[in-house]
Amino acid sequence: MRAKHRVLKGGLKTVEAESIEVKGLISDEGVECDVYEVEVTLNRHGKTHKRRFAEKRFKTRHSDDISTSENPRLQHGVMRELIASNREQDMGLNILPTIRLRDAGEKKPRLVVSLFDEPTDLNRQELQDFNADMERQMRSARAHGWIVRNDSFCPVRDDELGVVAVIADFGGVTPPKDVLDRVRSKR
C-alpha cells in the first residue's frame, strides 16, 4: 500500500518517493506559502537517487478556490495546462521543469518543484537581459490568452544563454477562462 504523503503526482507518471526529508526553510516571506528545501529519495530500477527540490507549503488563510494564488491543486492543474500549451503552441516560455503535487493528509496539499539558485549579484546587462526575456514571455503568453504577472518570474543563470527569466511563482499565472473551467472540472 502506498504511503499517501510520499506520492508525487504530475509529470509523465505518478511517483512514490522512498522518503522526503526537510532540509531547511528557504523562505517564509511569501503571502501564499512558505518554501522549504527537501531531499527526495527515489528508487528507480533498483537504484536509489536523491534529488533536491523546493516544497511550497500553503498557508491556510482561505479555503476558497476562486484564485490560484492560495490553492495548490488549482495551481498544479493550471501549470500543467500552461506547460502543455507552451509545448503545443510553441509559446517560448521558460517554466520550472518539475512541478508535482504532494498530498499532506488533513493539511493543504503541497507543490514540489525544481530547486534552483537565484542569483543575487546581477550586473546591469544581466538585469536588462532578464527584464527583456520576462517582457518577451509575458507578451507571448498574452498573445495566447494567458496572463503571467512579472512577479511570477525569477532570474536563473544559464551557462549558454546568460540570465533568463523562468516562471517559478505560479500564483500570478491566470489562464484563459475555458482552461480554468477545464482544470476545475477535473478536480
Count of domains observed in the chain: 1
In contact, 135 and 141? CB cutoff 8 Å = no
pLDDT digits 0-9 by tens, 96-151: 888 888 887 777 888 899 888 888 889 999 999 999 999 999 999 999 999 999 98
Sequence-ordered strand ranges (E) for 2-98: 7-9, 15-16, 19-27, 33-44, 47-58
pTM attached to this predicted model: 0.84
Residue range(s) defining the domain that contains residue 103: 4-186
pLDDT digits 0-9 by tens, 74-103: 888 999 999 999 999 999 999 988 888 888
pLDDT at residue 2 is higher than 60: no
The CA-atom distances, in angstroms, between 98 and each of 9, 79, 83, 94 are 11, 11, 11, 12
